[in-house]
Structure 1
Amino acid sequence: MTTDAHTISAASAHENAGTVPSTPASSTLSLRLPEHKVERRAVGWWALQSFLLCAPVLAATIVAYVWWEAARSWLILAVIGAVMLLVVGVIVEPLWRYRVHRWETTAEAVYARSGWLVREWRAAPLSRVQTVDALRGPLEQLLGLSTLRVTTASSYGAIDIGGLDHQRAARLAQDLTEITQQIPGDAT
């Protein structure tokens, strides 16, 4: 669990359709479960990523098994391991990640929880935000998704919220940029 502050002042506990509220509230919230799930299409995005990483490993082990007759007795274990890796990466990991990944933005902070085996739970006060970007890799473009990257003054690095609808991510980036420009200081 990483956070830029132990306690964060936040606006309302609920947000309207993922947009950033403009009126700050006086309530204080600690690190909590963010409200919104990522898009369901993110499951396909994560499955494709795993497939593109694991399929070549499986193909290489199968080719080695077929061509290297003297080593077949132990290469079958490598093939079985590669199949298991592919199944876990394409089926188990994406579904598990979908259950874990959450995000929320308020007029005071950005909250994110991500991961599957190792979970990261972060909150960043908007007063520490330096840049806000909406990123789209090739697979994300194919599925209509984006990653919202919020770079803070923290030495730990940016908060990435992957698996957002590309229009929502662009709107959030614009809204967060406008809010952070109104906060006095230099975000350091």
Structure 2
Amino acid sequence: MRGESAVRLRPPRNTPDERAVAWWRTQWLLVTAVPVVVLAVLGGLLEPARTWLLAGAGALAAVGLGCAAFFPRWWFRVHRWEVTDEAVYVRTGFFRQEWRIAPMSRIQTVDTVRGPLEQAFRLATVTVTTASAKGAVTLTGLDHRLAADLAERLTLITRDTPGDAT
């Protein structure tokens, strides 16, 4: 770099809300519970395949419980986000880290989404849409009030930022 100082990308400062761990854990348990119940009911009804169906239900339940115990806490440790006056920064992943940076001049829309489960945990997801072929930048597991404030802040910053948002 001739005459320029190297700019180092630092990790974004913010983590999801602590309640996101319980939200992610509940998602795992619900996704696992449906096939476990189906296999268990079929195992109870179909005598010839009972052993295999109940064994499958037990194995799936064990895997689901293990994933629900491990992954949400891990995701909480690796998900980071930050909003500055210049850009929105998101980092996800551990083995394969992904950094997403959306400059304010490129932001087209800001959406706040609260699914039923997120509402139960008082959480929200902020989706920042840009002209990028990679797709929107999402900030998940945010406190619902923080998400609303963030969407308002982003709207004000992008309104006052020169650029074409294309």
Q: 2:19 aligned with 1:60, yes or no?
A: no
Q: 2:159 aligned with 1:170, yes or no?
A: no
Quick check: 36-45 or 67-76, which moved more? 67-76
TM-score when normalising by structure 1: 0.78
2:137 equivalent among 156, 159, 171: 159
- Aligned counterpart, 1:9: none
Alignment of 1:1-188 (within 5 A): 29-115=7-93, 119-188=97-166
| C-alpha distance in structure 2 between counterparts of 1:60 and 1:70, whole Å | 16
Stretches of 4+ moved more than 6 A in 1?
none
Identity rate, percent: 47
The amino acid across from 1:93 in the alignment is F
| C-alpha distance in structure 2 between counterparts of 1:56 and 1:165, whole Å | 28
Deviation at 1:101, TM superposition (A): 1.2
| C-alpha distance in structure 2 between counterparts of 1:67 and 1:142, whole Å | 35
8 A Cα contact 1:54 1:89, kept in partner: no
| C-alpha distance in structure 1 between counterparts of 2:95 and 2:49, whole Å | 33
Deviation at 1:56, TM superposition (A): 0.9
Count of aligned positions: 162
| C-alpha distance in structure 1 between counterparts of 2:160 and 2:138, whole Å | 22
TM-score when normalising by structure 2: 0.87
Q: 1:126-182: per-residue Cα shift (whole Å, max 9, x none)?
A: 111111122111111111111111111101111111111111111111111111111
Using a 3 Å threshold, how does the CA distance of structure 1 residues 118 and 86 change in structure 2: closer, same or farther? farther
Deviation at 1:36, TM superposition (A): 0.8
8 A Cα contact 2:106 2:163, kept in partner: no
The amino acid across from 2:35 in the alignment is V
| C-alpha distance in structure 1 between counterparts of 2:16 and 2:163, whole Å | 31
Which structure has more RCO (C-alpha within 8 Å, separation ≥ 6)? 1
List runs of 5+ in structure 2 lacking aligned partners.
Answer: none
The alignment partner of 2:11 has SS state of: coil
Identify the structure with the greater helix proportion.
Answer: 2
